[in-house]
Structure formats: C-alpha cells, structure tokens
A = this chain, B = another copy of it.
Amino acid sequence: MLSTQAHPGYCNGGFDGLHPPSDDDDMVDIAGATLDFSSTDDVPPLRVYEEHQSRAGANGTGPGSLMDPLEDPVPGLGTYEDFNTIDWVREKSKDRDRHREITKNSRRSTAALLHSISDAFSGWLLMLLVGLMAGALAGGIDIAAHWLTDMKEGICLDGFWFSHEHCCWKSSETTFKDRDRCPQWQTWGELITGTSEGAFSYILNYLIYIVWALFFAFLAVTLVRAFAPYACGSGIPEIKTILSGFIIRGYLGKWTLITKTVTLVLAVSSGLSLGKEGPLVHVACCCANILCHLFTKYRKNEAKRREVLSAAAAVGVSVAFGAPIGGVLFSLEEVSYYFPLKTLWRSFFAALVAAFTLRSINPFGNSRLVLFYVEFHAPWHLVELVPFIFLGIFGGLWGALFIKANIAWCRIRKTTRLGRYPIVEVLAVTAVTALVAYPNSYTRMSGAELISELFNDCSLLDSSQLCGYLQVGQTGIGNSLADRPAGPGLFTALWQLALALLFKMLITVVTFGMKVPSGLFIPSMAVGAIAGRLLGVGMEQLAYYNHDGLIFKGWCTPEADCITPGLYAMVGAAACLGGVTRMTVSLVVIMFELTGGLEYIVPLMAAAMTSKWVADAFGREGIYEAHIRLNGYPFLEPKEEFEHSSLAVDVMRPRRSDPPLAVLTQDSMTVGGVESTRYSGFPVVVSQESPRLVGFVLRRDLLISIDNARKRQDGVVGASLVVFSEHPPAQAPDGPPPLRLRGIMDLSPFTVTDHTPMDITVDIFRKLGLRQCLVTHNGRLLGIITKKDILKHMAQIANRDPDSILFN
C-alpha cells in the first residue's frame, strides 16, 4: 500500500512496486520521511509543539548569507522533495533576486555586462536548442516508425534499412501507377514463396505480420519496464501536473527521453491503435528539461524551468502536426498553468524552429510542413452545418463515452490482478489488434495514413478504393470533380470503414493506458474521420440522387461538385478529438493550419463547439484531467470555477474538533524540540499566548540548516535555542549559544481571514501558485490551508473520495 501511495500508478495500471531510476539530470533527491501537511483520519492532524525554555547565548554568525540569491551556501536549501508542490511565489521571487543581482553587477565590469547580456539571451538560445533537438527527434521517430511499420509487411531487396517508400523511390522503373509495386520491395510471402498471389502467401504474410507486431510490442513494454516506467502513456496528464508546480523527479530525465523515443517507434510500428502525437509532447518536454541543465538560470529555478517546459509542449504539437500556431495555443489552452506573454513569444519561436527543422529532415517525403495536407476545391453550403453539428454530437458522445470506458478500464487494471501482468496485457492487445486489423486494409494501415486517405478529396486519377465512383457523362474539365454515383469499390470501402470504426472504437479504450507510449490524438481523429467520411459519402449520394430535392435545390446541380466527403472526415476528426480532449481554439487552429484556408473554420468550429457542449453535459473533465484525478495528482484545474459557498474557516486545518495548530514560537524553541516535529511546515508566531503571525518556515529548510550549523558551528546541541526574531532574547550566561534562523523564515507568508470565501481563496491559490496559506481572525493566527486541503474539499463537494488526492 505504501508504495502505491508514494508513487502514482503510472499509465494507470496497478503500480507494481518498480521505482523510477534515480535520474542524475535532476536535482539531488534528499532522503527524508514523506512529509505531509494534512493527515489521514487515524492520525491527529496537527500537533502543538510547545517549548518554553529560556536558555540563550549570543551568536553573531547567523545564516544571513542564506539569502544570497546567486548561490546556495547550504546545499539543498530552497529545493523540494519528490512528489511535492513548488511554491511559485518563492521561485519567481528567487529569480527576480538573481536577475537584480546580475543587473546590478553589470554596471561594474565588462565581464559582468557580457554575463548579463548572455543571461538575457540564454532563454532564446535555449528555445532554439529545444526546437532543433525536438524537431530532429521527431523527424527520426517518423522515419524509424515508417521503416519498422513497413518491415511488418515486407523488405527492400536493395537494403533492409529502406522503407517501402524509400525503396520504391530508388526504383527507376516505377511509373505513377505502379508506385506501390516496385520489384525491389517484396512482401515476406513473396520473398519466401516467390509469388505474391495465392492463399499461402497471404497467410504467411498475415502470420509474419502478427509475429513482428508481437515482437515490437514485447520489446516496447520490456524496455519501458526495464529502463523508464515513466515512459509509458501519453505523458500529457503528468506534464500538465508538472507544469502546475508538481515535482516528479526523473519524469523528464534522459532515461525517460531515450526510452520513450525508442519505445514510441516500436509501439507505433506494432500496429496498436495509438498515435505518436501525445508522446511527442513528452519527448519535447524531456529535451527541454535536459537542455535546461546547460543554463544555471533554468537549472536552479523550478518556475523558470516550467516556462521552458510550456514552450516545449508547444514544440511537441508543432512537430506532431506541423502546426506551430496551433501548438502554441494548445500549450496555452490545454497544458500550461503559468503562461506569461514572454513565454508565448518564445514558444512561438521554438515551435517554428522545430517545424522547420522537421521540414528540412522531410520525413513525409513531400516537403510539406503539415501531417495531413488537404486542399478542398468546393466551398461548403450553409445547409451542411446540420450534418456538421450532427458530427459534433457524435464526437461529443464518443468523447464522453470513451473517457468513462477508459477510466473504468484503468480502474479495473489498477484494482484487479490484471495490473500485475503488463507484458501479458500488451501482448494480448497487440495480438488481437494484429489479428483483426490485418484483413481490413483500413485498419492495417497506420492511423496517420488512414486519416490522410479519409481527408483526401477524390480526383479523377485517384486509384483509391474510396474514390471508386462510377464515371458518368463527359469527363471535361468543367465537371471532373463533379458528384458521381458510388461504384462497387466505394461500397466495399464503406463497409470496411464501418467495421474499422467499430473496431477502433473498442480497441482504443483498452489500448490507451497500457504500459507503452501511447497517444490519443490519432486514434480519436481516426474514429471521427471514419464517421465523417461515411456521413459525407452518404450526403454526397443523397445529393446526387436528389439534386432537385428540397434541401439540395439551388446549390447541387448534377454536374457540380457540391459535397466534399473529405471535409466531413476532417470535421468528424475535429469533433472526436474535441470530445476526448475538450480542446477548442487550439483544435480549430491546428485544423486550420492543416488546410491553410479560413474557409473551413466555421464548420470546424461548429463541430468543435457542439462536441464540447455535448461532452461537457456528461462530465466536465477531458481525458487528461480524468487521468490526473485517477492518479491522485494535486492539480488545481485553472478552467473550472469553484462554485461552492464555503469559507476559508471551513476548509482550514485544524478542524473544530482537532487539537490546535502546530506552531513554532519565535524565540522559545530548542533545536531538539524543532527536530522532533512531524509536519513539513510551520507558522512562526510571537508567543503561544499571543498567536500573532511572524513568518513561515519549512521543516526541510529547518533540518538542513540545523545540520549545517552543527557542522560549521560549535555548541549546537539539542538544548540550543532556535531564534527567529530580529533581536535575540536576553542571553543566559550558562546556556549554549542560540541558533539564529531568521534567514530561512519566509517573512511574507500569505494570509487570508477566516471569513474569506473559498472561491476567492481558490483563485488566490491558482493565480499566485501557492502551496499553503495561513488563516487569521482579527490578526490572530487560526489555521492553515494547503493545496491538498483545497483539493480534498473540492473532492468532498463533488461526492468523491477526498483520500484520492495523494500528494501535496
């Protein structure tokens, strides 16, 4: 039980006791008991540490130098423990101190001036590096995934390291029509039996396909288990939590990066119903975190580092879709917590650098920036908003249903024995996926290919099954793209698509959350795109056969191109992605960047809005928030308003029946008394009789300082007085000298009055990024509210288990 409490169940499986590898990219993890402001119900929540000893001794060498902003003379002071929340105000204040110091020094010497300039530009340099690294990695992942995916089906005779496409590029014999049939590329069946025809060859291909898929999946899950348990899942829920101020050491470290990059390629290649877009955000954030270590400014400051990580999230989406503006808005809307304007501008820069790096690697082989490039020829008609809104409803329903089903499945995994066999689970799902997917060409192809094909507008030369229309009339220029009746090819495609839709909807529920890297963007979009294309083709045929009917009259003539099924696929994809993630503006902008025309923004927006509203009616959480809650992370949702009318006094600790608050007095505590405390932070008051607030001190800082004082200074014993006041009390001649620790005390703790409504308190926590806040009544200290208390209170209001919030 304890290990589940100490570490979340990554990827929502029952966590099996694996500890994440300690990652030296991150700060030194100081061993210490897990400290907790609040309490479980069986332990009294807050104890009073009363100490009334009046031994004193003058000591002038108090840790005044502790306040030096540029260096930590006492190592570890001001750092955080794993699985704890940072104090944004303190971090930002620290950075401002540092900056002030540099500015002040810069007037003194040329070297300091240069240092100041390089400091000012280090943010931009870092962004450049993040963009380059993430772009290059994304390109590498694309190329490798293509190669391995093709490997499942066959091999290039010119060299096994060529993908199908590369192999056939080299072939000089290929004409436009035979692009897929170049002699250098042979399926496994062809290679072994010598012929591509026949049932035997087919079955051989089928079997080898399954074997490869199982092999890739096995490799992926084993690598994740062996090297970086954090590498599984999409990573976005955790990144959201980290950006909100939580610390998960190693989550963005170099082992995670390497493992995630490799296993992502394997997972995608195994043919599972998952995408690489979400994990690319994690990869980009790992890059950013690692590169942060090159710059003191970002290495030493958790708040500054989170600015860079916000930008990295934008970079991730930018390289995933080739949509830099959409990426920035995604980071702003969906992932980030603290997003100042400076970060907006830098994110945009990094996203562009990454997009252009990716383009120069050119993994799609078409020098296009975007993942799905679409160009539609026909405008849309106002009447079509009805089917678009219908797609929005479908997307919303599917999103809500998917979230409920996936969370239920993850809960089963977490609570039953299933969670103990992640490898078996992955192999089973892979086997089922491969078995079912192979016979249907729409499930066999990768998600991205499928979406591309569904978005595509049929031209006359298109040989795809989806464009299997009957040719009627003259094929002049005027009506080359006109509506045509469906032919047998299209009918085959339609029922295959319907089966694919059903299969994708089911398999994605069990796939997302397994112990392999898995993104949700592509599977959701695929579901929506299939539904949209089906509806689009339906509408098209309806229009073709009823072009004089009531609704089509006036805009659909027999020779005109009035319905674009590809547009329906795109709208459907947006609707489903919106339903699952509840993205809004960023979704529409990403889609807009794919088409490059404002023309289709209105259909996309109509669908995205409907989808969000419908899905919100079933529960306001998107998939990422749902997974955050499932894992018990301390995440204070910035989007939701706190609706309840409770006051600060109702939420604070101690509660009415509890013993009074554990406080330290400013000049009457001994070292021994302080060391025996249990809570992770204490308000310091004038005296027990007059509980007026002086400051706030963290137990971690206190212990580190006392340890340090013991090493550096003689005479620090258990009976030494710990003094927080400005002027030490009158000295007793026989006692040990007092230990002056005013320097480590936060002299400006946040306070609210007991009558402050909780909505205002929650707002203050959110906007300022607080860890805790003290409650006063008429100037007297009354209690304390931590972020965890607020989250527990919110859980209670929503009739959820308050103990599901695991961390501070």
A residues whose Cβ falls under 8 Å from a Cβ of B: 89, 92-93, 96-97, 99-100, 103, 324-325, 328, 332-333, 340-342, 344-345, 348-349, 352, 355-356, 369, 584-585, 588-589, 592-593, 596-598, 601-602, 605, 609, 638-639, 641-645, 648, 686, 692-695, 747-749, 751-753, 755-757, 759-760, 763-764, 767-768, 776, 778-781
- Evaluate contact between A752 and B757: CB separation under 8 angstroms: no
Residues of B within 8 A of A328 (CB): 585
- Evaluate contact between A748 and B752: CB separation under 8 angstroms: yes
**A748 CB, nearest partner CB in chain B, Å:** 4
**A689 CB, nearest partner CB in chain B, Å:** 13
- Evaluate contact between A778 and B605: CB separation under 8 angstroms: no
Given the interface pairs A103-B643, A345-B585, A779-B779, the reply to whether A596 lies near B593 with Cβ below 8 Å is no
- Evaluate contact between A356 and B602: CB separation under 8 angstroms: yes
Kindly identify which residue among B352, B641, B694 contacts A602, using a CB–CB cutoff of 8 Å.
B352
10 A-B pairs within 8 Å (CB atoms) are namely A92-B763, A96-B641, A100-B645, A341-B638, A349-B609, A356-B602, A596-B596, A767-B767, A767-B768, A776-B779
- Evaluate contact between B643 and A100: CB separation under 8 angstroms: yes
**A626 CB, nearest partner CB in chain B, Å:** 18
- Evaluate contact between B585 and A348: CB separation under 8 angstroms: yes
Residues of B within 8 A of A369 (CB): 598
- Evaluate contact between B100 and A325: CB separation under 8 angstroms: no
Kindly identify which residue among B96, B340, B341, B776 contacts A643, using a CB–CB cutoff of 8 Å.
B96
- Evaluate contact between A748 and B767: CB separation under 8 angstroms: no
Measured in the bound complex, the distance between the Cα atoms of B333 and A345 in whole Å is 9
**A140 CB, nearest partner CB in chain B, Å:** 22
**A72 CB, nearest partner CB in chain B, Å:** 19
- Evaluate contact between B93 and A757: CB separation under 8 angstroms: yes
Task: List 18 extra interface pairs beyond A694-B778, A748-B757, CB under 8 A.
Answer: A89-B763, A93-B760, A103-B643, A324-B598, A325-B592, A344-B584, A345-B584, A349-B609, A352-B601, A352-B602, A596-B597, A596-B598, A686-B778, A686-B779, A692-B779, A749-B753, A763-B768, A776-B779
Chain B residue with the shortest CB-CB distance to A753: B748
- Evaluate contact between B89 and A760: CB separation under 8 angstroms: yes
Measured in the bound complex, the distance between the Cα atoms of B692 and A753 in whole Å is 12
Given the interface pairs A592-B325, A749-B753, A752-B748, the reply to whether A759 lies near B601 with Cβ below 8 Å is no
Residues of B within 8 A of A776 (CB): 779
Measured in the bound complex, the distance between the Cα atoms of B49 and A385 in whole Å is 67
Measured in the bound complex, the distance between the Cα atoms of B552 and A296 in whole Å is 42
Given the interface pairs A757-B748, A778-B693, A779-B780, the reply to whether A588 lies near B100 with Cβ below 8 Å is no
Measured in the bound complex, the distance between the Cα atoms of B344 and A54 in whole Å is 59
Given the interface pairs A100-B643, A748-B752, A749-B753, the reply to whether A692 lies near B780 with Cβ below 8 Å is yes
Measured in the bound complex, the distance between the Cα atoms of B323 and A325 in whole Å is 14
- Evaluate contact between A779 and B693: CB separation under 8 angstroms: yes
**A541 CB, nearest partner CB in chain B, Å:** 29
Residues of B within 8 A of A588 (CB): 348
**A799 CB, nearest partner CB in chain B, Å:** 16
- Evaluate contact between B93 and A601: CB separation under 8 angstroms: no
Chain B residue with the shortest CB-CB distance to A764: B768
Residues of B within 8 A of A341 (CB): 333, 638-639
**A766 CB, nearest partner CB in chain B, Å:** 9
Residues of B within 8 A of A747 (CB): 753, 755-756
Residues of B within 8 A of A609 (CB): 349
- Evaluate contact between B352 and A605: CB separation under 8 angstroms: yes
Residues of B within 8 A of A757 (CB): 93, 96, 748
Measured in the bound complex, the distance between the Cα atoms of B587 and A802 in whole Å is 46
**A78 CB, nearest partner CB in chain B, Å:** 15
Residues of B within 8 A of A352 (CB): 601-602, 605
Measured in the bound complex, the distance between the Cα atoms of B780 and A779 in whole Å is 6
Given the interface pairs A605-B352, A749-B753, the reply to whether A96 lies near B759 with Cβ below 8 Å is yes
Most chain B CB within a 10 A radius of its CB, from A332, A609, A779 = A779
- Evaluate contact between A99 and B779: CB separation under 8 angstroms: no
**A348 CB, nearest partner CB in chain B, Å:** 5
Chain B residue with the shortest CB-CB distance to A342: B639
Residues of B within 8 A of A645 (CB): 97, 100
Chain B residue with the shortest CB-CB distance to A686: B778
Measured in the bound complex, the distance between the Cα atoms of B386 and A94 in whole Å is 38
- Evaluate contact between A589 and B778: CB separation under 8 angstroms: no
Residues of B within 8 A of A642 (CB): 96
Measured in the bound complex, the distance between the Cα atoms of B776 and A609 in whole Å is 48
Measured in the bound complex, the distance between the Cα atoms of B605 and A650 in whole Å is 51
- Evaluate contact between B768 and A748: CB separation under 8 angstroms: no
**A737 CB, nearest partner CB in chain B, Å:** 25
**A694 CB, nearest partner CB in chain B, Å:** 6
Residues of B within 8 A of A593 (CB): 598
- Evaluate contact between B748 and A755: CB separation under 8 angstroms: yes
Residues of B within 8 A of A643 (CB): 96, 99-100, 103
Measured in the bound complex, the distance between the Cα atoms of B760 and A641 in whole Å is 25
Residues of B within 8 A of A748 (CB): 648, 752-753, 755-757, 760
**A456 CB, nearest partner CB in chain B, Å:** 21
Measured in the bound complex, the distance between the Cα atoms of B642 and A96 in whole Å is 8
**A529 CB, nearest partner CB in chain B, Å:** 23
Residues of B within 8 A of A695 (CB): 753
Measured in the bound complex, the distance between the Cα atoms of B342 and A345 in whole Å is 21
Most chain B CB within a 10 A radius of its CB, from A348, A349, A598, A768 = A598
Measured in the bound complex, the distance between the Cα atoms of B340 and A780 in whole Å is 35
**A807 CB, nearest partner CB in chain B, Å:** 24
- Evaluate contact between B93 and A759: CB separation under 8 angstroms: yes
Measured in the bound complex, the distance between the Cα atoms of B356 and A605 in whole Å is 13
Residues of B within 8 A of A749 (CB): 753
Measured in the bound complex, the distance between the Cα atoms of B644 and A755 in whole Å is 34
Chain B residue with the shortest CB-CB distance to A747: B755
Measured in the bound complex, the distance between the Cα atoms of B96 and A738 in whole Å is 50
Measured in the bound complex, the distance between the Cα atoms of B752 and A356 in whole Å is 48
Measured in the bound complex, the distance between the Cα atoms of B780 and A720 in whole Å is 30
Residues of B within 8 A of A356 (CB): 602
